[in-house]
Amino acid sequence: MRVLVVEDHVTLAARIGEGLRDAGMAVDVVHDGAAALDGVAGTAYDVVVLDRDLPVVHGDQVCRSLAAGADARILLLTAATSVDDRVDGLELGADDYLGKPFAFPELVARVRALARRTPSAPPLVRRGDLVVDRARHRASRGGRALSLTRKEFGVLEMLTAADGGVVSAELLLEHVWDAHADPFSNVVSVTVARLRRKLGPPALIETVVGRGYRL
């Protein structure tokens, strides 16, 4: 899952980014509305966590733009918490609204819930004896719990959501890693190799030469 955090309070933004990464998400952080619009224009984010009171381009304008032209779900995160404020935020096109201060587990749960709002990615996916629980960030095969790193789970999550379709290494890099990942590294192939070993026989992940991987 790829998330963009847009928050002008640098310390809070860093903490949100770190916490979401600890929850298994690939996270980019920017500090103003213009950077948010630039980021979404170049990257397919699943969720944007958006502060309303932003410099350069106000968060309300960013929200309207994203709602009109981006596929990402929008979670408004702001200190304005009255009923009127929440209604205004939702009418701007936001998918959800969370006031500050907030409990971090609730933020994680809301981001995950927004990312699950797609017909191709239900919360619980079964492929033969493989079970991927996106809501709880767990996976098992043949009833055996799999001990996966955040990146390994992210790759498995995307492959299962593709329902047998081919997922390119570029797409995996874009959604499972973040903007600091080196596009010329072999990090995807190494992660897939580790994931294959942990899934065990018979092999579940097929390499489609020149195209990517499929389950």
Whether residues 145 and 187 fall in one domain: yes
Which CATH number covers residue 78? 3.40.50.2300
Q: Percentage of residues in the chain with pLDDT exceeding 90?
A: 48
Given a cut of 70, whether residue 120 has pLDDT beyond it is no
For 76, the domain range is 2-115
User: Predicted confidence band at 20 (pLDDT cuts at 50, 70, 90)?
Assistant: very high
pLDDT at 136: 77
Backbone angles phi, psi at 103, to 5 degrees: -85, 130
User: Predicted confidence band at 119 (pLDDT cuts at 50, 70, 90)?
Assistant: very low
Whether residues 111 and 6 fall in one domain: yes
Listed residues 84, 115, 146: the one ending a domain:
115
Whether residues 42 and 17 fall in one domain: yes
Q: What is the pTM of this model?
A: 0.64
Which CATH number covers residue 170? 1.10.10.10
Give the model confidence (pLDDT) of 42-81 as tens digits.
888 889 999 988 999 999 999 999 888 777 899 998 876 6
User: Predicted confidence band at 179 (pLDDT cuts at 50, 70, 90)?
Assistant: low
Whether residues 96 and 194 fall in one domain: no
Amino acid at site 161 = A
Structurally, the chain folds into a number of domains equal to 2
* Secondary structure in 3-state letters for the chain: CEEEEECCCHHHHHHHHHHHHHCCCEEEEECCHHHHHHHHHHCCCCEEEECCCCCCCCHHHHHHHHHHHCCCEEEEEECCCCHHHHHHHHHCCCCEEEECCCCHHHHHHHHHHHHCCCCCCCCEEEECCEEEECCCCEEEECCEECCCCHHHHHHHHHHHHCCCCCECHHHHHHHHCCCCCCCCCCHHHHHHHHHHHHHCCCCCCEEECCCEEEC
Whether residues 90 and 190 fall in one domain: no
User: Predicted confidence band at 88 (pLDDT cuts at 50, 70, 90)?
Assistant: confident
Listed residues 79, 98, 115: the one ending a domain:
115
Whether residues 87 and 15 fall in one domain: yes
